[in-house]
Amino acid sequence: MRGETTMYVIAIIVLAHFVIGIGYLMYKLSKPSKKKSDQD
């Protein structure tokens, strides 16, 4: 039981990481920035 719960927790963390990362990229790409080279 414990191993299965750990797998679920890891899967949720990984999925949340992907969702947050994609959302952040969409936000960064959609937001116009004049100093893009300085920000990177």
List, for residues 1-40, the tens digit of each pLDDT value. Answer: 678 999 999 999 999 999 999 999 999 999 766 655 555 5
pLDDT at 7: 95
pLDDT at 38: 54
SS3 34: coil
CA distance 9 to 28: 28
pLDDT at 3: 85
Cα dihedral 11→16→19→24 (10° resolution): -140
pLDDT at 2: 77
Angle at 24 between CA 13 and CA 22, to 5 degrees: 60
Across the chain, which distance is largest between two alpha carbons, in Å? Answer: 52
Predicted structure pTM score: 0.55
pLDDT at 8: 96
